[in-house]
Structures are given as C-alpha cells and as structure tokens.
Amino acid sequence: MIILLVLSIIAFVSIMLFAKRLKIAIRLALAIVICLPLACNSQSLHKKELLMLQRKQGWKIVFFQGEYGKILYLLDLSGRVQKLDLGRLSIKKSSLGSPSIDSKNDKLYLVESDMESPSESLIVEIDMQNKKRRIVLKCNPFSLSVSPNGRFLAFTGKHNGARGLFVVNSATGKVYLHIRGVNTACSPSWGPESKRLAYCSKDDFIYILDMNNFSKMRLVHGSFPSWVPSTNLISYRELKRYYLIDINTRQKNDFLDAEKRLNFLGKVAGMGGPLLWSPDGRYALFYHIGTMFCDVTEQYVIYLIERNTREIIRVGSIRGPIVGISWGKLNCSDIGAN
C-alpha cells in the first residue's frame, strides 16, 4: 500500500503540472488512487483462490537451483519458497536436476550426476512416502518426463552411446523404445492417458507418438511442446511466442507473447522453455530472466497465465538459475520441508 500511495502522489503531481485545471487533475488523481488498489486486490484475491486450490489438491511446484544443488525447492503460489534437503537420499558427491513429479504414486523422478564424473548420470526415483531412493537407469539424460500413470519415463539424451528420445519402464528400468533425430534440448510431454507422447525433432517440428503402435504424426513447426492436462491441446513455442494447438483439428491459436505483454520498459526477456501446466490444465507457469538495477544476479520472475481469460498473475521472483521445474501432487511433509 505504501508503494501505491507513493505512485498515486507522483501521478497527482505530474497531472497537476500538465493539466490546465485543478479540478481535472484532482479527478484524474482520484481515479488512479481508486483503480490501482482495485487492480492489485483483484490479483491478490485470485492468488488466494489459487493458494486454497493448491493446498486442497496437494499441488507442489518443485525445482532445483544452481549447478551442484541437492536442495529441492518448493514454490508456493504466494511466492514463498521452502527448502527440502535430499542430500541424505542421494550419493554424497552429486548434483541433482530435471525433476518430474509422479502425482499418482507420490514419487519424484530426477537426474543425479556425479560431480567427479559428470558424464555418468542416473535417473533416480524418490519414494516420498517411504523416504527411499532407487536407481532406475544409468544414462545421460538432458530432460525427463514421467507419464501420468507413473508407468513410463521419457527422456532425451544419451544411452549406451546412442542419442535421441528414449522411453523406459519406470519399475524395471528397461528401455523399450528409441527414436533418433530429436531435439534433445526439448523435453518430451505425455498425453493425459499416457498413450501419446509429444516431442520435438532436430528440424524443430513437433511430432505425436502413438504408444500403442509407435506410429508418428507430424503436428506443427515449433519447439518445447507441453500437453495441457485432460485436453487435446498442446502448447508450444515458435520464435518468441507461445501457441495452443488442438491435435485433432490442428487449429492453432496465439496464446502468449510474453515479451510484448511484460516488457513495457523495452528490456528483452530470456524466456524459459516449455509452459508448465497446472494439474487441472487451467493455469500455465512461465518465467523470464532479468537483472535488478545495479545487480548482476539473474532474477527469475515467475508468472501464471489463465488458459481461457489469458490473465497474467505475477507469483514472485527467484535468484537463479533454475535447473528443471515440475508441477504436480506431492506429499513432502514427511521428508522435512522447511
């Protein structure tokens, strides 16, 4: 409220300087004083609604920070961040990244790399209920995604000297599918029933893989596909814009031009990769990277956008870098979040 008051006073003085009549200046200033708090209250009410929904559903937004971190960070939609130390569940000299939440089975999958041998990495399962760590597969993944039913893991990267997209049985660690010619920087994304998988090719086309017969369908030119839960919609990025496309009708709609909507000072934003969808498919999380005045530390500014109204809500800012981020249902109370 103090900030709003200061802004209102500055606006009032400015208007008085340029307005011909005092009455007009007063009316305009009063309008600013009234409208600014109302706009902020609208966002705060929306955030309260989101917080209630998050707590009721047990939603968690998790990410790793830094190159050699063992701390799993839990982001609240109020902007509050909690820390969860996974050091006792992993090897002593390791860095962690690429978290992916298995909401159905209350498990977290992640990539664990030995700091002394960074070329040797593991896909690891963390059972949140039993506080156990299990190695799923030795490989070199760049990105990781668990299917909605928890039975499969899809990752891009290297395995046994080969590069591409791999699908793994999460229980046995058996690799039963390998596709070459993919953009390994783009994470694959599962369809709602775990029967289809979206991925990006080297020439930046998005394909849909049918897991029943392994047939492929080329969908659209773009990168960073992200399936909207419980729908036939996929969000993706082309240049600096995000779009939504219906995989059945192939109807494409402009969804988000974050640079146009947020950079009112003309600063170029470094956008994060795919949109991260809430478990109910209503909100998408995204962030851009900037620096504070007189501060070289990168600030990751986190936003939500509502799918139907396109309303943007600012969640908060985090000192970077973010190393992988996931949104799902996860019970962390027994592990000791603080």
Q: Is 25 helix (H, G, I), strand (E, B) or coil?
A: helix
Say yes or no to pLDDT of 11 above 60: no
Say yes or no to pLDDT of 171 above 80: yes
**How high is the mean pLDDT of the chain?**
80
Instruction: Return the number of other C-beta atoms located less than 10 Å from residue 79's C-beta.
Output: 13
Between 12 and 262, name the one with better pLDDT.
262
Separation of alpha carbons 210 and 191, rounded Å? 10
pLDDT band, very low/low/confident/very high, at 2 (cuts 50, 70, 90): very low
The residues pairing with 83 across neighbouring beta strands, listed in sequence order, are: 73
For 88, phi then psi, to 5°, come to: -75, -10
The residues pairing with 157 across neighbouring beta strands, listed in sequence order, are: 141, 164
pLDDT band, very low/low/confident/very high, at 150 (cuts 50, 70, 90): very high
| pLDDT value, residue 91 | 65
Instruction: Return the number of other C-beta atoms located less than 10 Å from residue 213's C-beta.
Output: 6
Average pLDDT of the residues in 36-62: 64
| pLDDT value, residue 267 | 44
3-state secondary structure 135-156: EEEEEEEEEEEECCCCCEEEEE
| pLDDT value, residue 257 | 86
Whole-model pTM: value is: 0.82
Q: Of 131, 228, 136, 202, which Cα lies nearest the Cα of 174?
A: 136
Task: Quote the tokens at residue 163.
Answer: 């590069």
Q: Of 265, 267, 300, which Cα lies nearest the Cα of 286?
A: 300
Between 45 and 40, name the one with better pLDDT.
45
| pLDDT value, residue 251 | 96
| pLDDT value, residue 190 | 97
Asked if residues 292 and 301 have their Cβ atoms less than 8 Å apart, the reply is no
The percent of residues above 70 in pLDDT, for the chain, comes to 74
Torsion of Cα atoms, 12 then 17 then 18 then 20, to 10°: 100
Show the CA angle centred on residue 99, arms to residues 95 and 101, nearest 5°: 150
Mind listing the pLDDT tens digit for each residue in 270-316?
Answer: 566 899 999 999 999 988 776 544 444 567 888 899 999 999 888 88
Mind listing the pLDDT tens digit for each residue in 225-278?
Answer: 999 999 999 999 998 899 999 999 999 999 998 777 766 444 444 566 899 999
Q: 4-8, 77-81, 248-252, 255-259 — which is least confidently predicted?
A: 4-8
* Radius of gyration from C-alpha coordinates of the chain: 22
Cis peptide preceding 321, ω within 30 of 0: yes
Say yes or no to pLDDT of 207 above 90: yes
Average pLDDT of the residues in 138-158: 94
Report the side by side order of strands in the sheet with 241-246.
223-227, 233-238, 241-246, 252-256
For 286, phi then psi, to 5°, come to: -145, 165
Say yes or no to pLDDT of 49 above 80: no
